[in-house]
Amino acid sequence: MNTPRFVILGAQGAGKGTQAGRLARRLGIKHISTGDVLRAEIASGSRLGKQIGQIINRGRLVPSSMSNAMMKHRLSQPDCQPGWISDGYPRRVDQAQALARYGKPNLIIVLHLTDRAAIKRLSGRRVCPKGHVYHLRHDPPKKKRGYCDHDGLRLRQRDDDTPQAIRKRLHIYHHETEKVITWYKERVLVINVDAHPSISIVYRSLLKKMNHIAWLSSRLQKK
C-alpha cells in the first residue's frame, strides 16, 4: 500500500479536476483526466481513437468496453507506475469492475455537492477556444472582461454548461455514478469531503482526512 492509486468522484462542478490536480502535484503522481485521455487517443490516429472519434461525432456515449481498453492502456504507461489519480473514470459499475481487475485503486475520494450548487457553479463557467477555463464569479479574466488572459480570444459558455444541460448530466450522475460509490464502499477505502467551501478549504479538508490513513500520511509529510 505504498503506491497511490486513487479515484476521485463527485457531481459535475464539485471540483474533481482541481482537487485531483493539486493532490497529484503534492504526491508526485499522475493526474489522469478521462477527457484528456480521450482527446489524446483520438489525436494519436490509432484504430481505437478513430472508433472513439466516430462515436463522439455522432453524439453518442463511448461504450464501456472502449473506455476500459483506453484506460487500461493509459494506466500501464511508465509515468503512471509511481501512482495516479483518475478523474472522470469510472462512471459506471461495469467500469469500476474492470478497473478493479487491472488498476486496483486503493482509495476513493468522493466530493459532495448539491445539485443547486452544481448548477450555480457550472452556469458561471466560461472557456476560450484553446481550453483555458474561467468562472465569472470565482476566477474571472484579469485583463479584459469576457476575453482570455492568455491568448485574448473571446470566452464562451459550453453547450453542456447551460442549466438545462447540467440538469441532464446530474440526472445521469445520480442514476449511474452514485451506484459506483455504493459499489466501492463495500470494497475499497472511501473518504467523503464537503465540496461546497472554497477550493483551498476543500483541499485542506481532503488532506486532513487523508492524513488519518497511516501509509498515506507518511508520504504526504515528505512532500
From the list 16, 92, 126, 219, the catalytic residue is: 16
From the list 22, 30, 74, 91, the catalytic residue is: 91
Distance CA 30, CA 80 (A): 6
133 forms beta bridges with 127
On whether the CB atoms of residues 99 and 45 are closer than 8 A, the answer is no
Distance CA 152, CA 145 (A): 10
From the list 144, 154, 156, 158, the catalytic residue is: 158
User: Cell 473571446 sits at which residue?
Assistant: 154
From the list 26, 72, 169, 209, the catalytic residue is: 169
Q: What is the DSSP letter of 4?
A: -
Measured CA to CA in angstroms, residue 183 lies from 62, 103, 106, 141, 186 at distances of 22, 16, 14, 40, 6
Would you call 169 a catalytic residue per the annotation? yes
Would you call 91 a catalytic residue per the annotation? yes
118 forms beta bridges with none
On whether the CB atoms of residues 90 and 103 are closer than 8 A, the answer is no
Would you call 116 a catalytic residue per the annotation? no
Q: What is the DSSP letter of 13?
A: T
Q: Which of 73, 77, 75, 66 is nearest to 105 (CA)?
A: 75
Residues noted as catalytic: 16, 91, 125, 158, 169
